[in-house]
Every structure is written in C-alpha cells, then in structure tokens.
Structure 1
C-alpha cells in the first residue's frame, strides 16, 4: 500500500511534470473507482492543474479555470494495490480495463502526457473523488496530525500516547491520530526505535515518546529523500529496496542478524525482530496458533 513517503513523492513528481498543464479529457474505465458524481468528472476538462498536495495517504490535485476564482479537486486514495502510472505520451485509444491492464481512470493533459490510475488484484479499494473542497472527501476531514508537519512535535506525540490503551503499532496506523503511516512504515519505525509492536501507548514515558518522535520523522524523511527525483514508475521498487524489516520475514535482521519474525492476521501481517524489539521473545502468531488448536 502506498504510504506517506510514496504519496509525497508522487505529489512532487506531478508538481514537476504536470502543474501548469490543462486537462484534455478524463476517461473512467472502472466506474466503481469514481466515488462522486457532482461535480461530474467531465468538469475537469479544460481546467489547469495548479497544485498538488497530500493529505495523509490521499493525493490531491487542484484544478482552476483560467481567470476564475473557484476550482475543483481530484482527490485519490490508492488503497492497497493502486498506483499512478505516468506517461509522457499516453495512447490515443480509449482505455479498456482487463486483467492485463487493470486501469481505473486515465487523465490526459493537453500536451499528450498524463497518467493512468491502476489497481491490481481482486480486492478493489482505489477511490477517486471530484470535489470542490478536499474536506468533502470521506475521512480527509477526520485525518490526524501529519508527522511531517511543524505541529508534530515530541510533546504532541506524548499527548497522543499518554492516555491511550492502544498498542503502539495500532496507534501509529490510526489515520485519525497520525495521518500517513501504514503497515510498512510502522514496522520500520518500531524496529528502528527498538520497540515492541505490542507495547501499550500509554506506558511510554515522555523521554521514550521523544525518542519515538525522532525515529518517526527520521524514517519518513529518509524515505522521501530516497525517492526524490525518481520517476513515478520507480517509486514502488525503491520502497521495497529501502525497507529493512517489513516484508522480510525469515531473513536476517540487518542490525543484529536474528531472524525476522511475522505475526499474521486475517488480512494483514507485520514483521519485527525479537532481539531488537521484544527482548528475544517471539510474539504469538495468531494464524499459527489457530492451526495448532
């Protein structure tokens, strides 16, 4: 799933390659991906892309009509398997969705360039919204603090944790508390912080919260910096290469050499290092436990 660093990098890529260009047309290949009907997606035609922002994991493209004060936003959530595929020269034929071409939406700019929104797999979650204000999109108005913002301070993080009985892994992933961190980067943050995913948030001391804050900001900024200047199509592979524990179950920990372990749930899993994070004690894998009953 694209998380804060990838979405931030996609926004930076579009600012460089697309801002200032007008929309030639928008074609929807998967109607289920378009979550709004008023304004219609056709209203984006002839509008100029004037800015690209990020709200947590949401990508926000702002369009204005020349000489007009109002505008529209195309807000996209890429979900688990969605992606934005940029082309300097898009095909002139209308997009057709197929297993080999899992396209949901195509936006063509007036110079022939543009992008496809695609989504692989059978579980569809990619969502595109055409709205007058980003806060009209469900969940955007409810987003918590952005961990790359000036407001995200050690004191702010401590205030979020001190009364929470949530496990720290869950708190980091809760978009209503901290916006933009998902399963992958919460694994990376907790490994770098040498902290158990099951640690209860309220047990963090003020000093521990400060240390965790530094790791969160450092991990995310490092990931954004590694992606700087990369083409949109290269961001996925860069993320995979840069991860140290997430998705690396069975491999040696890059810090201590212990075997990275995994805890599996119904629709997700997380990875951790017992030596670095849990005092050498493996956490129970609920999926395995059920099989042994």
Structure 2
C-alpha cells in the first residue's frame, strides 16, 4: 500500500505534469472505484487542473471550470477528483494520449489531458482480489468521509511534541496508533514498522506505557524517518516509487533477513490481511512475539 512518502512524491510529480492541463477524456471502465454520485465523470471533461496535492493517503486534483467544460448548470467553479489507491492500487502515467479501454481488467479509471500542445494520460489500476481503490468527484475534499475524519499530518509544522504527546494517554498499541488514520494521517503498515524499529519500540507496547522521553524520541524518529523518505521519493516518477520504497525498508518485508542495525533475524507476525515485521534485539529485549497476537495488520 502506498503511504505518505510515496503519495507525497506522486502528488508533487502530478502537480508538475498536470497543473494548467485540460482534462479531455474521463473513463471509468470499472465503476467499482467511483464512490460518489453527485457529479458524473463527464463533468470533469474540459476542466483545467489547478493543482495536485495530498491529504493522508488521498491524492487530490483540484480543477476549475473552463469554456469547454461539460459541467451541468449550477456546477461549482471548483471541483476535486480525489483518489485513494488502497491496498493494491497504483497510478500509471503516460506521456501520450490513450484511447478507450477495450479490456478493463485491472483498470479502474483512465484520464487524458492536453498540456501545452502535448497529450498525457494516467490510469488508476487495482490488482487486488478485493477492489479497494476509491475515486471521488466532489466540490470539497471535506465532503469525503475518509478525509473529514483524518487526524493531523505527521510532518505538518502545527503538530508539535505537546500535541503529539496527547495521543499517548490511551492503552492503544503503538503499531495500531501510528497507522490509525483518525490519529495520524498517512502512515500505514510499512512505515509504522520502520518507525518503531528506528525508535527501538515494540509494536505491542501501549501508548500509555511510554514516559515523556520515550514519546519525544518516537516523535523525533517519526519526523526524521518520514522526512528522509519524502526527500528520497520526491522527483521520482510513479513507476519508480514501489522499488524505491522496498529498497529503503530495514525490517518491513524483510522477514528472515539480518537486521541492519544489530544483525539479529527480522521476525514476522502474520495476520489474515497482512503482516508486521520487527527485530527482537532492537525492539523487544530479545522476546519473540510471533505467538503473542493474532488479528488484523492493515
């Protein structure tokens, strides 16, 4: 699943490629992904992309009505196309116009754009058995339930240590807390593993068990790790982001390999819907946790 660093880089890339471009065609060959009914996809045609940004795990295309827009009477000047790639979704950017989708397959949506005399396009695909990719066409991102409920961004200047510390009064486990989108927006299964490993904390430690020094250390570790990940990803094309993320992981997805910090074997706890990885020496005082919990990882 793409998380904050990859989605921030993707939004930056799309902003550079699409700002000022006109949407020339919108296709939803698989309507499973379109989650809103207020505006049909055709209303996006002829609109100009003003900017592309990110909020949590959502990428937001802000569009403005133009003279060629097919908007219905009374449509707002500003309209957003928002998407969440979920577990198995991805964006494929093409520097050419692409025709109608003949065989939908995994393609959930296809958009074509005209930009300074050049045609570009992107596909949104979902390769998962369970289709979780979601696309929304709304007047305001706050109209999307998943965005309205989001907690603060982990890297935003307004989130200081004092506000971060307030998150740790509950008995919620650290792994669950870090990837709870209502608590912090944008961190998922992979980066929660990486943050806890870097902070030398067990994924099953409870928030309320941390003393102020441990909370501060976790806060600084989270900010530092995510900042580095965003910097590494920024400037990369969407097709390069998956490999970059995989290569940057120290414990996540590296079950059975040596921890790069201490050399111990990276361990895994498997769930029905995923898994988490950790280093016993770095994080749990040598305790092996495989048989300790069973449940949902993502």
Mark yes or no: TM-score above 0.5: yes
**Is the Cα–Cα contact under 8 Å of residues 23 and 46 in structure 1 kept in the other structure?**
yes
**Is the Cα–Cα contact under 8 Å of residues 201 and 283 in structure 2 kept in the other structure?**
yes
**Is the Cα–Cα contact under 8 Å of residues 27 and 95 in structure 1 kept in the other structure?**
no
Question: For residue 57 of structure 2, what is the aligned residue in structure 1?
Answer: 57
Residue 8 of structure 1 aligns to a residue whose secondary structure is helix
Listed as ranges, the gaps of 5+ residues in structure 2 are 68-74
1:216 paired residue among 218, 222, 246: 222
Residue 196 of structure 1 aligns to a residue whose secondary structure is coil
| Alpha-carbon shift at residue 142 of structure 1 (Å) | 0.6
Separation (CA, whole Å) in 2 of partners of 1:118 and 1:96: 13
Per-residue displacement from partner, 1:16-67 (whole Å, max 9, x unpaired)? 1111100001000111111112111111001000011111001111000248
Separation (CA, whole Å) in 2 of partners of 1:59 and 1:93: 24
Separation (CA, whole Å) in 2 of partners of 1:260 and 1:254: 9
TM-score for both structures, normalised by structure 1 = 0.94
Separation (CA, whole Å) in 1 of partners of 2:126 and 2:152: 28
**Is the Cα–Cα contact under 8 Å of residues 60 and 74 in structure 1 kept in the other structure?**
yes
Separation (CA, whole Å) in 2 of partners of 1:196 and 1:168: 8
Separation (CA, whole Å) in 1 of partners of 2:167 and 2:158: 13
CA root-mean-square deviation = 1.6
**Is the Cα–Cα contact under 8 Å of residues 173 and 183 in structure 1 kept in the other structure?**
yes
Question: For residue 158 of structure 2, what is the aligned residue in structure 1?
Answer: 151
Asked if residue 181 in structure 1 is aligned to residue 192 in structure 2, the reply is: no
Residue 165 of structure 2 aligns to a residue whose secondary structure is helix
**Is the Cα–Cα contact under 8 Å of residues 169 and 198 in structure 1 kept in the other structure?**
yes
Instruction: Return closer, same or farther for 1:95/1:143 CA change in 2, 3 Å cut-off.
Output: farther
Question: For residue 104 of structure 1, what is the aligned residue in structure 2?
Answer: 108
Question: For residue 257 of structure 2, what is the aligned residue in structure 1?
Answer: 251
| Alpha-carbon shift at residue 95 of structure 1 (Å) | 4.8
Per-residue displacement from partner, 1:174-232 (whole Å, max 9, x unpaired)? 00000100000000000000000011101111111111011111111111111121111
Question: For residue 20 of structure 1, what is the aligned residue in structure 2?
Answer: 20
Per-residue displacement from partner, 1:68-117 (whole Å, max 9, x unpaired)? 9721100100000000110001322435312xxx1110010023201000
Q: 1:86-97 alignment to 2 at 5 Å? A: 86-97=93-104
Number of residue pairs matched?
284
**Is the Cα–Cα contact under 8 Å of residues 264 and 285 in structure 1 kept in the other structure?**
no
| Alpha-carbon shift at residue 286 of structure 1 (Å) | 5.7
Question: For residue 267 of structure 1, what is the aligned residue in structure 2?
Answer: 273
TM-score for both structures, normalised by structure 2 = 0.92
Residue 26 of structure 2 aligns to a residue whose secondary structure is strand
Question: For residue 203 of structure 2, what is the aligned residue in structure 1?
Answer: 197
| Alpha-carbon shift at residue 284 of structure 1 (Å) | 3.0
Listed as ranges, the gaps of 5+ residues in structure 1 are 289-293
Residue 60 of structure 1 aligns to a residue whose secondary structure is strand
**Is the Cα–Cα contact under 8 Å of residues 73 and 131 in structure 1 kept in the other structure?**
yes
Asked if residue 33 in structure 1 is aligned to residue 33 in structure 2, the reply is: yes
